[in-house]
Amino acid sequence: MAVSKKFSSRAIEDAYSGGCRHFGENYVQEFAEKHAELPQLAGAHFHLIGHLQSNKSRLAARLFQTVQTIDSPKLMKRLDAAGEEQGTRVEVMLEVKLAEEQSKTGCAPADVPQLIATATECSNVVLTGLMTIPPWSEDPEQSRPYFRQLAGLARQCGLKQLSMGMSNDLEAAIEEGATYIRVGTALFGQRQRPKPKTSAVSL
């Protein structure tokens, strides 16, 4: 999957022309703006890979074919309700947090069975798999145990899709069974950092 966050709608079109059909975006609002600029791209599939705020559920259900970052029953039900309202079905994946990192979203592995049960009550979401973001490391081998753990969990739960691996650790992810790798930098180059604020008066 081509992760096009912080790149323009033009970059998405170019990647589409080059054969990409799966795209990952992190922010609902940012993608809404790009989506409005895009022509019809037949067969393109857009995945939300950033955290979903529940007040953006309706917009997300309209813009994305897959939301990979469901981590609570409440969020799944919100998305289900949004799908119901709009007559859309959204594919979802559960974001699982495998390491203790304060700043990260994602459910605990122990929460997965309950989320699977919730999905069976939701007729407008289709649960297909698991997603994870391991703690960042220079060394891709540091990610491997997390990938292996996610693959084991998915197998246990009978879920087929595994979204894991980014530019720096995608090979290890593929070796451990990834069905989606999420590649940004390696395809599009470095993302722009936020610009430092400039003063209103330039001298």
Ligand X SMILES: *Cc1c(COP(=O)(O)O)cnc(C)c1O
| Residue 196 burial by Cβ neighbours in a 10 Å radius (0-12, 13-18, 19+) | exposed
Does residue 166 belong to the site contacting ligand X (CB under 6 A)? Answer: yes
Residue 137 engages ligand X in binding (rule: CB under 6 A): no
Footprint on residues 47-66 left by ligand X (CB under 6 A): 49-50
Instruction: Give residue 7's Cα distance to chain centre.
Output: 16
Nearer to ligand X, 16 or 180 (CB): 180
Show contacts with ligand X in window 11-50 (CB under 6 A).
26, 49-50
Among 133, 154, 172, 178, interactor with ligand X by CB under 6 A: 133
Q: Which of 9, 65, 149, 167 binds ligand X (CB under 6 A)?
A: 167
Considering only 85, 99, 185, 189, the residue that binds ligand X (CB under 6 A) is: 185
By C-beta, is 90 or 170 nearer to ligand X? 170
> Strands, DSSP E only, in 88-180?
90-95, 125-131, 161-163
Which residue type occupies 162? L
Note the Cα 21 to chain centre separation in Å. 15
Only one residue has tokens 């989506």, namely 35
Numbers of helices and strands, H then E, in the chain: 8, 7
Give the pairing of strands 90-95 and 161-163: unpaired
State in angstroms the smallest separation of the CB of 200 from ligand X.
Answer: 32
Q: Which is nearer to ligand X, 114 or 137 (CB)?
A: 137
Residues found near ligand X in the complex (CB under 6 A): 3, 5, 26, 49-50, 133, 166-168, 182-186
